[in-house]
């Protein structure tokens, strides 16, 4: 990197735990360099129980803002002075903007998800039928809110802990299902989105009955390491169109970048190629 960091450099970043393998610094710093913006984007490992103190401290500085990832998306909402409607609706925030000593929470995960569908499944119409979402955490909430706001007639939320799926649909609408009832939930859907973190920490990844989905049903995985997850492999083997989590990551990063640095990321930089390079083992 040839950019000089000075006292005027605009600083933003991402917080999560674990954070060391986040691709966000690679995306944002590549955009900053290509755009010639005097800014930098750093990764912060969040400590258990320390999230609010981190936000309180940073908002008293010139720090521009934070992307927030697992497991702090609910904490981010609670730590904000103001909550934008998208984040309030999802009850989760992946973006905190610091301005004039105040913190505003937003959620760009849903925008990223819809951008990923538009890019990789261009014929897909969110309003054309019900969609199934696996998981009931922050990612699932962002997805459910985005699909419903885009005219989706029903979201079906399938989760290991049924009570969490029920809480999500109580907030946003839709129908909750236990994992064992995934087959029922998959009938007639236009898309299935994996928003679970299953398999990230252990080998307990459940298998899902994708074969009962209609032909043409779009299958998406928010996980992007590996880029083609076992879930997407199973979908491809059935001939289903697929959307990967990297497209969503880039899609949520674009509006975040603009919020931090005041300009959209340069459109002509192939940031996906840069991210793919970084994903190589």
Residues of this chain that interact with ligand NDP (CB under 6 A) are 70-71, 73, 109, 112, 135-140, 159-161, 164, 195-198, 200, 204, 206, 222-224, 245, 248-249, 252
DSSP structure class, residue 94: S
Q: Which positions are annotated as active-site residues?
A: 73
Q: Of 127, 109, 149, nearest to 247 (Cα)?
A: 109
Considering the complex, state which of residue 54 and residue 140 has its C-beta at the smaller distance from ligand NDP. Answer: 140
Rounded to the nearest whole angstrom, what is the least distance from the CB of residue 16 to ligand NDP in the complex?
A: 9
Query: What three-state secondary structure class fits 43?
Result: strand
> How crowded is the C-beta side of 229, counted as CA atoms within 13 Å?
25
Supply φ then ψ for residue 232, to 5 degrees: -70, -35
Rounded to the nearest whole angstrom, what is the least distance from the CB of residue 256 to ligand NDP in the complex?
A: 11
Rounded to the nearest whole angstrom, what is the least distance from the CB of residue 8 to ligand NDP in the complex?
A: 30
Rounded to the nearest whole angstrom, what is the least distance from the CB of residue 77 to ligand NDP in the complex?
A: 12
Bridge partners (DSSP) of residue 236 are none
Q: How far is CA 253 from CA 27, 63, 103, in A?
A: 8, 17, 18
Considering the complex, state which of residue 9 and residue 234 has its C-beta at the smaller distance from ligand NDP. Answer: 234
Can you read off the two tokens belonging to residue 280?
């190589």
Considering the complex, state which of residue 61 and residue 161 has its C-beta at the smaller distance from ligand NDP. Answer: 161
DSSP structure class, residue 81: S
Considering the complex, state which of residue 99 and residue 173 has its C-beta at the smaller distance from ligand NDP. Answer: 173
Please state whether beta strands 131-134 and 95-99 pair in parallel, antiparallel, or not at all (unpaired).
unpaired
| Nearest residue to the partner ligand NDP, using Cβ | 137
Could you list the beta-strand ranges (E) of 76-154: 82-83, 95-99, 102-106, 131-134
């Amino acid at each position: 990197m040839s950019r000089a960091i000075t006292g005027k450099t605009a600083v933003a970043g991402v917080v999560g735990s674990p954070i060391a393998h986040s691709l966000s610094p690679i995306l944002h710093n590549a955009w900053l360099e290509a755009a010639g913006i005097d800014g930098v984007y750093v990764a912060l490992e969040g400590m258990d129980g320390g999230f609010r103190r981190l936000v309180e401290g940073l908002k008293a500085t010139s720090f521009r803002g934070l992307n927030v990832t697992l497991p702090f998306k609910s904490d981010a909402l609670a730590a904000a002075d103001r909550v934008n409607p998208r984040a309030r609706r999802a009850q989760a925030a992946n973006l905190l903007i610091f301005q004039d000593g105040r913190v505003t929470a937003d959620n760009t995960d849903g925008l990223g998800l819809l951008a990923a569908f538009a890019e990789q499944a261009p014929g897909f119409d969110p309003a054309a039928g019900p969609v199934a979402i696996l998981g009931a955490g922050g990612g699932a909430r962002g997805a459910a809110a985005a699909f419903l706001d885009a005219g989706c007639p029903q979201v079906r939320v399938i989760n290991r802990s049924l009570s969490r799926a029920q809480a999500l649909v109580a907030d946003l609408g839709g129908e909750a299902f236990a994992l064992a009832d995934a087959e029922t939930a998959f009938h007639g859907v236009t898309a299935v989105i994996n928003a679970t973190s299953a398999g990230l920490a252990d080998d307990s990844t459940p298998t899902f009955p994708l074969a009962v989905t209609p032909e043409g049903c779009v299958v998406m995985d928010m996980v992007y390491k590996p880029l083609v997850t076992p879930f997407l492999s199973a979908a491809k083997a059935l001939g289903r169109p697929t959307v990967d989590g990297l497209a969503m990551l880039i899609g949520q990063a674009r509006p975040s970048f603009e919020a931090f640095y005041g300009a959209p990321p340069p459109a002509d930089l192939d940031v996906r190629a840069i991210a793919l390079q970084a994903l190589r083992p």
